Structure formats: structure tokens, C-alpha cells
Amino acid sequence: MIDYKLLEALATVVECGGFERAGDSLGLSQSAISQRIRTLEIRLGQPVLVRSPALKATPAGQRLLNHVQQVQLLERDLARSLPTLDQPSARLRIALNADSLATWWADAIGEFCWEEGLLLDLVIEDQDIGLRRMREGDVAACLCSSPQAVAGARCVPIGSMTYLPLATPRYVARFFPDGLSEQALQEAPAIVFGPNDQLQHRFLAQCGFLGTFPHHLCPSSEGFVKLATAGMGYGMIPEIQVKTQLKAGTLTSIAPGKHLEVQLYWHFWRHGGGAMERLTRALVSGNGLVPS
């Protein structure tokens, strides 16, 4: 069997961001930690950590971390049936889309984490990258808009988010006084989350406009709303994120009546144990999204 002392040292170094702090956390000297990492690297025949520019796990190290995480989850199940065992800690690494994290995510799973004392390690990823990290064993679950299951994992639809094309009334009066047109869209700055964000393109295609358009890039869900509210551009925003602004009239649709529905799917490993199953139930029942 794997020597879990070595894996625990690796997990702690990454979690604490350094050898000295990892030693403090495990009650070991810094050199004892270094020795464990070195032993692990010799056994594995490759590095598990890169030191520069910042301390982080190599791809091989990441797979080990994910394995530790899964083992800790299973230990959590074990501790429920053998309560005399120390309650183990576990942190679950989950990839999810920025808009879910900025809106409904915490409300759906907060109570579950409260009751189970589960810690989350959340990473924001585009769906393709999120699913790849899942295939590589780097995350235990992935929330994204792809229905395509990863081999060995389950995929559950959990509802959809409604996106509206929004800008300030002043912006609409300046750039779209006569509604959307090919020419107006060549002048009007949009807001795009990042190079892989195709929501604005999809919306414009739905309206019959193809091709490129000027845009800001803003890789922050809340920043996106702030840019739109400051009149800097139009963009597709989750309706649930801007209820206040819609009611107050500070944001308005650039194409009234039009919207995009984005279906969301929850991908998780089959061998995730009881905690993962209960988390999935919490997600499915408590998300408050439009049902699939």
C-alpha cells in the first residue's frame, strides 16, 4: 500500500503553502517534511512539487493530492460507522463555473457543509478545462454546462440559469437608440468573461449577427456586473444575479424578450462515497434553479 505519511506531507505542504508551516501543522521539523517529499519523489521517479515561481504541485503531485482527498472522504464515511475513530478532516476539490459560485452555489450547499463540517477547495474553470481536470483526477467533481459524462463518473442535470443581455439605459440610448443592428454592434463595446466565454457570441448569433465585436475582457462574475452597471458595456448576466438592478431599472435588456438558458450538470466520481452522494442530493434539491 501507499505510504500515506508521505502523501499527507505533500497535502499539508500544498495546503499551508510551505515546508516550515507544514511542519508546524503536522508537529514535525521542516527537514522531516523535506525528507518525506524527497522520498515520495524518489519512489515516484518524478517531482511532485515545483518551487518556482510559486510552490505548487506538479501534475503527478496533483493526482496524488486528489487521491488523498478521495481517501479522506472515504475515511469520513468510515468515521460515521465507527465514531470512536477521530473525525478526519477532508477538503473536497470542486471545479465550477464562476456564475454559479457568485450566485446560488453557497445557498445550496451551505447547510450541508455546516452539518458535515466539510471543507471545500473550489476552483473556477471553463467547462472544458474543468472536465479535463476531472479526467486527470485533479478534482473530485465538476459543475458545468456539458452533459457529456466522464468515463467512470456520473453526470446529473441540476437545472438551468437564465441569462439576459443587459446594459444601462444610458448605454442603450447611446449605442442602440434604434435597437440592435450590424453597424451598432460594431461600435458598442460588449463585456466577455474570457476567451472561452461564448455566451455573447451565442446570443448575437441567435439575433442573426455573426462575426466579431469590440469587447472588454473581465474574468470576474461580480466585476462583470459592475462593468455593466458602470455603463462600460453590455453582456449576458444571470437574471438571479441582478434582480435588484432590474427592479431599480439601473440595468435593462438590449433586446427585450430575448434570453439564453444555460443547463448545468454535476459530474462526480462514482467511488466518491457517502459524503459525495449526500452533497449531490443537497445540490439537486436545494439549488433553486429552473428545473431541467
CB of 110 to a copy of itself, least distance (A): 3
Strand 153-167 with 235-238, pairing:
antiparallel
Q: How far is the CB of 174 from a copy of itself (least distance, A)?
A: 8
Continuous segment of H or E residues that includes residue 166 = strand 153-167
C-alpha span between 129 and 102 (Å, rounded): 19
Nearer to a copy of itself, 58 or 154 (CB): 58
**Which class for 259: exposed (0-12), middle (13-18), buried (19 or more C-beta within 10 A)?**
middle
Give the CA diameter of the chain: 71
Are the beta carbons of 183 and 243 closer than 8 angstroms?
no
Output 24 or 154, the one with its CB closest to a copy of itself: 24
Nearer to a copy of itself, 162 or 220 (CB): 220
273-286 helix and 105-116 helix, angle to the nearest 10 degrees: 140
Contact residues toward a copy of itself (CB under 8 A) are: 14-17, 21, 24-25, 53-56, 89, 91, 98, 101-103, 105-107, 109-111, 113-114, 117, 119-124, 128-129, 132, 189, 195-196, 211-212, 214-223, 226-227, 229-232
- C-alpha closest to that of 246 among 189, 165, 133: 165
CB nearer a copy of itself, residue 17 or residue 152: 17
In the complex, the smallest distance separating the C-beta of residue 16 from a copy of itself, rounded to whole angstroms, is 6
Q: How far is the CB of 117 from a copy of itself (least distance, A)?
A: 8
Q: Which is nearer to a copy of itself, 42 or 210 (CB)?
A: 210
